[in-house]
Amino acid sequence: MLVQRGVRPTILDVGETLDLDRQAVVARMSAQQKTEWDAEDLAVITHNPTVSHEKVLRLAFGSAYPYAGTRESAPLDVAEDGPSPSMARGGFSTIWGAAMLPAAYCDLKAWPFPSGDLDPYYELVLRDLPFSATKDRLAGEFPLYRDDTEPLAPSPIVRSFLQTLDRSHFLRGRNDLAYGQARVAVRAHDGPDGRGCVYCGRCLSGCVYGSIYSAEQDLQKMIQRGEVDYRAGRTVLEFSERGNDVEVVCETKGGLENILVNRLFVAAGALNSTRLVLESKRLYDRPAVLKTTQGFVVPMINIRGAPFEWPNANTLSGIFFEFKLPSVSDNWVHSQISPANELILAKVGYQAGTGFLQYIRKLALGRLLVALCNFHSDLAGSYSLRLQRGSASKRSVLSIANQPSSDFADVMKLGSRRLTRLLSRVGVFPVTPLMYGDPLKPIGWHFGGSLPMTRDPRDEMHTDVFGRPKGWQRIHVIDSSVFPSVPATTIALLAMANATRIAQTVTLED
């Protein structure tokens, strides 16, 4: 948006990238058809040792580089399975699930402006993204904001489930649910920006063709066109306003660097943006609440089987099923439903092949659906962040402590019961004894809200509607840390729309 306004921004980014060996494998595979891939190359990019861990992580071509964890330049005190910032070029969009819904009015009641103010920015954002979506029963509550969407071909299991939902009289005409084909930022067909999806079944390991959108792709284009001054290898440590300028202090391999800019937009991810504001304002030992969504995963049996096509399938979310729990709140509960993906298959030791046993396994897998259900941050636990001042030679440590919600166990139970009640009417039965989700520990990656936007910031950690922390005029935080609440219905599209709103409306003439 800044580029469209005629500005050539300087981007200061840690910007770590995939190691060169893996990059070579990805480059080789991307130049081949999926049928030509070498088994060794495939093994490299799909290697994921976390499938044997309790918390399975999505990796990027076999590498965990998008999860920064603790660093000398930005130390953390966090449990091993706790949240992490990203210092990757493109951040977590290098490994995300690409699921995208706009937020509904009922989920943004705490926001300081009407949810409708975001409408033009959803349009602007979606106009420039690959967007697999279709006009279906989601569109009533969650507008598409674009006419020329290009949906992926749903797998037989997904198509059959959607048809079953459509045929159900019980689900028809209700205002407490909405469902449809999952909306994902994936290029369905070949085009000038790159190759379309070839249904290779490796989405959760990384797409060698780049069909899944990542912010890295846009960044690359802007660098090539000379639209931005991109400076990687800079870890921003703090910033301050100096008259009409903002001074930014970065750590580089060569030592500290001070950079003067006339306006600063901070988008270091919710954890690192919060750290930067705490450090810059010298707010040590002061707790800040990082909100998060929370939920559970549950396998489900569909009595109507369909051919199980993996690996010839797209393994991102197949269906979005949104429902409400009126006895608890007016918020949407967001479920992403899919056939078994490659991480689940790896966990159960499944490999594609032929033979009678394989035939039986495929019959069973053709009846398996997996739902990931997420709840709004108002209903979920949260994290408490606290910055402990570093000593002379050491950086300050950001501690992240889990703050469970005492009510969430009940919310989760009610949510799973409701899902069961709704879906069992159409012959899909959640296997609740196999439900995974610790009510005392959020497992997701949708967090923010530590620097909430308010109309009138009174607290040092509040921001105004342009994301400016109290007392600052030229420093804007534009990522999810400024969300007053985090809807369950995905986070990135909302963050992109809000950042675009700020970048478009803020005065730049000075």
Site track 93-132 with ligand FAD (rule: CB under 6 A), x = hit: x-xxxxx---------------------------------
Helices and strands of the chain, counted as H and E runs: 10, 18
Which residues, numbered 251-280, are part of the site for ligand FAD (CB under 6 A)? 267-269, 272
**Preceding amide of 339 cis, omega within 30:** no
Check if the beta carbon of residue 111 is closer than 8 Å to that of residue 494.
no
Check if the beta carbon of residue 228 is closer than 8 Å to that of residue 12.
no
CB nearer to ligand SF4: give 133 or 503: 133
Query: Which does residue 426 touch among ligand FAD, ligand SF4, none (CB within 5 to 8 A, set by kind)?
Result: none
CB nearer to ligand SF4: give 209 or 408: 209
Residues 6+ apart with CB under 8 A from 428: 161, 164, 300, 301, 302, 303, 369
φ/ψ of residue 157, rounded to 5: -65, -45
- Is 446 one of the binding residues for ligand FAD (CB under 6 A)? yes
Query: Which does residue 445 touch among ligand SF4, ligand FAD, none (CB within 5 to 8 A, set by kind)?
Result: ligand FAD
Which residues, numbered 39-68, are part of the site for ligand FAD (CB under 6 A)? 58
Q: Alpha-carbon torsion 42, 46, 49, 53, what sign?
A: negative
**Shortest spacing between CB 504 and ligand FAD, in angstroms:** 18
> What single-letter amino acid sits at 489?
T
Which residues, numbered 182-241, are part of the site for ligand SF4 (CB under 6 A)? 186, 197-203, 207, 209, 211-212
Query: Which does residue 314 touch among ligand FAD, ligand SF4, none (CB within 5 to 8 A, set by kind)?
Result: ligand SF4
Cα 389 from chain centroid? 30
**Shortest spacing between CB 338 and ligand FAD, in angstroms:** 12
What angle in degrees, to the nearest 10, is found between the helix axes of 20-30 and 39-46? 130
* Residue of minimal Cβ distance to ligand FAD: 91
User: 319-324 and 332-338 as β-strands: parallel, antiparallel, unpaired?
Assistant: antiparallel
Cα–Cα distance measured from residue 195 to residue 197, given in angstroms and rounded to the nearest whole number: 7
Cα 393 from chain centroid? 35
**Shortest spacing between CB 1 and ligand FAD, in angstroms:** 14
Specify the stretch interacting with ligand FAD by CB under 6 A; choose among 11-19, 46-54, 397-405, 461-469.
Answer: 11-19
CB nearer to ligand SF4: give 314 or 485: 314
The two tokens of residue 131 are 């967007």
Q: Which one, of 351, 366, 359, lies nearest residue 159 by Cα?
A: 366
- Is 100 one of the binding residues for ligand SF4 (CB under 6 A)? no
Query: Which does residue 412 touch among ligand SF4, ligand FAD, none (CB within 5 to 8 A, set by kind)?
Result: none
CB nearer to ligand FAD: give 308 or 445: 445
- Burial class from Cβ neighbours inside 10 Å (0-12, 13-18, 19+) for residue 446 reads buried
Cα 282 from chain centroid? 30
Check if the beta carbon of residue 89 is closer than 8 Å to that of residue 216.
yes
Cα–Cα distance measured from residue 161 to residue 170, given in angstroms and rounded to the nearest whole number: 15
Site track 301-340 with ligand SF4 (rule: CB under 6 A), x = hit: -------------x--------------------------
Check if the beta carbon of residue 446 is closer than 8 Å to that of residue 270.
no
CB nearer to ligand SF4: give 190 or 410: 190
- Is 491 one of the binding residues for ligand FAD (CB under 6 A)? yes
- Is 61 one of the binding residues for ligand SF4 (CB under 6 A)? no
**Shortest spacing between CB 444 and ligand FAD, in angstroms:** 8
Q: Which of 88, 157, 325, 400 binds ligand FAD (CB under 6 A)?
A: 88
How big is the site for ligand FAD, counted in residues (CB under 6 A)? 34
Residues in contact with ligand SF4 by CB under 6 A are 186, 197-203, 207, 209, 211-212, 314
Residues in contact with ligand FAD by CB under 6 A are 12-15, 58, 74, 85-89, 91-93, 95-99, 234-236, 267-269, 272, 445-446, 479-480, 490-492, 495
